[in-house]
Structure 1
Amino acid sequence: MNASVLPLANRTPLCYSINSPPFQYHPTIASAYFSSVFTALGLVSNLIAFGVLLKSFWRTHSRSRSFLIFLGGLVVTDAMGLLVTGSIVISFHVTYFNWRRLDPDCHFCNFMGMSMVFYGLCPLLLGAAMATERFIGINRPFARSASLPERRTISMVLTVWLAAGCIAALPLAGVGSYHMQMPGSWCFFNIGSQGSDLAFSLLFSLVGLTSLAVSFLLNTVSVVTLVKVCCGQDRSQRHRDQEVEMMVQLILIMVIASICWCPLLVFIAQTVLSGGPLRIRYLLLWLRFATWNQILDPWVYILCRMAILKRIYPRFHWPGGSAAAAYPSFRHAVRRFTRSSLGSSLGPDEAHKSNVTPPSTLKPCPLHPVAV
């Protein structure tokens, strides 16, 4: 029955104005098995990653902890997103509760819609923040050491959460609206092509795509800088342990987020701009693609670490504790740069000896005269 012909006291709430339960359930579209497996797998993965991150945090030098703090924020966000949204979906598939009886005022539906938007945008925004941190750490290391202490990094993570929360709360202020979605197990913002629904749909899509674009741009510049430092003519510049390892992890996080989220973000923008009807099957398909992001993210750090790679490929010649050790020319260039900074002058014979002497027999050069 149309909501406009109902008495005022019996008007259909806004969140049920498009799709009103009860529905005809189709197990081929949504199933408890799919939701349970994905939720359990994601929670276990993020729990393992959090334990590994916590262990690494206390063993890592203080200047390298900023990246671990961002990763910790990403793991916590992914785990909470799976726990909140997954528990609601699984409960529905197990009990098939009536949303209108349980939530006549749409509070529960609005909460789930906000959770979907919040936990969807947070990983993308955190990826852009991590790319910014790595960009500063590689291209402006001394500015980073002064401007990005651990407390400020934590503040950046909290700022990302606050920004995502503000965007998720916009439908409650009238910009967009949260609605029950088919097949009746979840709530999301209305992907419409009119008024505030159009504005919020484009906002969600553009924020996500912009975050991915920023991550791609900054990560590309950071990779080019690392290649120049390690292999180019300016390879006498500063280099720190674990830079390459962290960049590999960040690039994999960006690639996974792009593969998982771009189809959904582009689908939303294309649907509202074309003005065509919402194709629910494609929406559910791309939403499941996005769910994989929360499952695959933690495994990037669990597997892509030097200690794990040494076990997987023990015959490969791994650098001994520093990325600079993998590039002998870079190591010798740094040594020459250090000696010139100290005012040392070596003769040709001494220079020849220093080049053929094994690194284990070289006396370490004092670094304090060149510290900034």
Structure 2
Amino acid sequence: MNASAPQQSNSTPLCYSINSPPFTYNHPIASAYYSSIFTLLGLPSNLIAFIVLIKSFKEARSRSRSFFLIFLGGLVVTDFMGLLVTGCITVSFHITHFNWRNLDPHCHFCNFMGMSMVFYGLCPLMLGAAMAVERFTGINCPFTRTSSQTKGRPISMVLLVWFTAGCVALLPLMGVGGYHIQKPGSWCFFLISYKGNDQIFSLIFSVVGLTSIAVSFLLNTVSVVTLIRVCCGQDRTQRRRDHEVEMMVQLILIMVIASICWCPLLIFIAQTVLSEADLQVRYLLLWLRFATWNQILDPWVYILFRRSVLRRISPRSDWSRSSIMTLYPTLRETIRRLTSSSLELGEMDEMGKSNVTAPPTLKP
């Protein structure tokens, strides 16, 4: 552990070497109401989404739908546990105002919370990238899916994401960076600094998060373009793709929410480290609140943006037709006209060819 060397020369543990409680930081962004509200909103939302996912998984008929629901289940479980672990610690501090140095003299509790912040922060972003890879493969390379592929594949990918995020979270305990108590004293996080190993770990966290968002954006864009071509194509014998469009809409919304919530914090960390500027605590807390909204809004994407829910919201719409183009009458009418015009041209060409008679042959 990287705390052993500093403790030999100094009695102050590593997590208290930069900031030592108690703190006098009283900025409004550090109010206890934020942690309480986020926890109370996020936990029931993820629990409801998990129940809905279990019901939908039992009713799923297609393999691609089952795979997607497994990824969503991993995302909901991750968000729920992240809010539960970090929220309980933060809310408990604001209620009891315990002294970290008396409660945790050897930094074990602080390291656990710091690891939780990193692990549950990176997992949603990496799971979003894994879902984008799965949908990209399913839409653009359907022949790579064989009948022998089982539900163990998405489960393995979710476990791989958890393992990778856990390895990144363990790096500060191996000497790359370190977890420290943060103002106002209610949470622990890695030290955002341009010095030594702290700079390396800060860049690792930021680059992994931004790369996951970039991969999601790139693959989802290609998948959406491919899906639009399929849905708007002139071939009327194509298989139904409504469920794939529904999954892509949910995945796009998850990606947009993750980008809005996490990009400010990830860019702020990279900018602070690369510019060698002093850490602005109020901005760190502000962007951290933005990132927390990701765990609250993710479950509502699946709770609300489902065809069964949309039927109840807009019962007059024709949700029974197999084509997703029924949602867009203007676009559907335009495609119908283009299709009919191309068919008329094809029929005229065939008639012209039939009118051209072959030269008469002499009969014996």
- Normalising by the smaller structure, the TM-score range is 0.7 to 0.9
1:286 is matched with which residue? 287
Matches within 5 A, 1:123-142: 123-142=124-143
Determine if contact 1:29/1:183 at 8 Å carries over to the other structure: no
Quote how far apart the aligned CAs of 1:28 are: 1.8
Quote how far apart the aligned CAs of 1:139 are: 1.0
Equivalent position SS for 2:143: helix
1:46 is matched with which residue? 46
Q: Deviations over 1:28-55 (max 9, x none)?
A: 2322222111101100000010010000
**TM-score of the aligned structures, taking structure 1 as reference length:** 0.83
Q: Deviations over 1:160-198 (max 9, x none)?
A: 000000000000000111011111100000001011111
1:308 is matched with which residue? 309
2:246 is matched with which residue? 245
Q: How many residues get paired? A: 327
Instruction: Give, in whole Å, the separation in 2 of the partners of 1:154 and 1:7.
Output: 42
Determine if contact 1:229/1:235 at 8 Å carries over to the other structure: no
Determine if contact 2:231/2:323 at 8 Å carries over to the other structure: no
Instruction: Give, in whole Å, the separation in 2 of the partners of 1:127 and 1:73.
Output: 10
Determine if contact 1:242/1:322 at 8 Å carries over to the other structure: no
1:13 is matched with which residue? 13
Instruction: Give, in whole Å, the separation in 1 of the partners of 2:38 and 2:239.
Output: 43
Instruction: Give, in whole Å, the separation in 2 of the partners of 1:325 and 1:289.
Output: 36
Equivalent position SS for 2:145: helix
Instruction: Give, in whole Å, the separation in 2 of the partners of 1:279 and 1:303.
Output: 37
Instruction: Give, in whole Å, the separation in 2 of the partners of 1:32 and 1:145.
Output: 52
Determine if contact 1:228/1:234 at 8 Å carries over to the other structure: no
Instruction: Give, in whole Å, the separation in 2 of the partners of 1:303 and 1:189.
Output: 36
Letter in 2 for 1:199: I
2:265 is matched with which residue? 264
1:358 is matched with which residue? none
Letter in 1 for 2:253: L
1:340 is matched with which residue? none
1:199 is matched with which residue? 200
Any stretches of 5+ residues in structure 2 without a counterpart?
1-5, 340-350, 352-364
Instruction: Give, in whole Å, the separation in 1 of the partners of 2:176 and 2:158.
Output: 25
Instruction: Give, in whole Å, the separation in 1 of the partners of 2:91 and 2:148.
Output: 44
Q: Deviations over 1:190-244 (max 9, x none)?
A: 0010111111000000000000000000000000001111113567554444011
Equivalent position SS for 1:217: helix
Instruction: Give, in whole Å, the separation in 2 of the partners of 1:322 and 1:202.
Output: 45
Quote how far apart the aligned CAs of 1:317 are: 2.6
Equivalent position SS for 2:30: coil
Range 23-32 or range 283-292, more displaced:
23-32
Determine if contact 2:7/2:14 at 8 Å carries over to the other structure: no
Instruction: Give, in whole Å, the separation in 1 of the partners of 2:158 and 2:7.
Output: 48
Structure possessing the higher radius of gyration over alpha carbons: 2
2:30 is matched with which residue? 30
Range 262-271 or range 234-243, more displaced:
234-243
Structure 1 residues 233 and 321: CA distance shift in structure 2, 3 A: closer
Quote how far apart the aligned CAs of 1:27 are: 6.1
Instruction: Give, in whole Å, the separation in 2 of the partners of 1:323 and 1:157.
Output: 30
Instruction: Give, in whole Å, the separation in 1 of the partners of 2:256 and 2:8.
Output: 51
Structure 1 residues 99 and 87: CA distance shift in structure 2, 3 A: same
Determine if contact 1:239/1:324 at 8 Å carries over to the other structure: no
Letter in 2 for 1:53: L
Instruction: Give, in whole Å, the separation in 1 of the partners of 2:87 and 2:73.
Output: 21
Quote how far apart the aligned CAs of 1:16 are: 0.5
1:88 is matched with which residue? 89
Instruction: Give, in whole Å, the separation in 1 of the partners of 2:241 and 2:131.
Output: 17
Q: Deviations over 1:41-75 (max 9, x none)?
A: 10000001001000000001141200000000000
Range 240-249 or range 105-114, more displaced:
240-249
2:222 is matched with which residue? 221
2:348 is matched with which residue? none
Range 143-152 or range 154-163, more displaced:
143-152
Structure 1 residues 20 and 189: CA distance shift in structure 2, 3 A: same
2:152 is matched with which residue? 151
Q: Percent identity?
A: 72
Any stretches of 5+ residues in structure 1 without a counterpart?
1-5, 334-347, 349-372
Instruction: Give, in whole Å, the separation in 2 of the partners of 1:31 and 1:298.
Output: 25
Letter in 1 for 2:125: L
Structure 1 residues 7 and 197: CA distance shift in structure 2, 3 A: closer
Quote how far apart the aligned CAs of 1:7 are: 10
Equivalent position SS for 1:215: helix
Quote how far apart the aligned CAs of 1:318 are: 2.3
Letter in 2 for 1:270: Q
Determine if contact 1:242/1:323 at 8 Å carries over to the other structure: no
Equivalent position SS for 1:212: helix
Letter in 1 for 2:212: S
Instruction: Give, in whole Å, the separation in 2 of the partners of 1:175 and 1:147.
Output: 42
Instruction: Give, in whole Å, the separation in 2 of the partners of 1:124 and 1:160.
Output: 10
Quote how far apart the aligned CAs of 1:140 are: 1.5
Q: Deviations over 1:284-333 (max 9, x none)?
A: 00000000000000000000000111111112232435647776989xx9
2:3 is matched with which residue? none
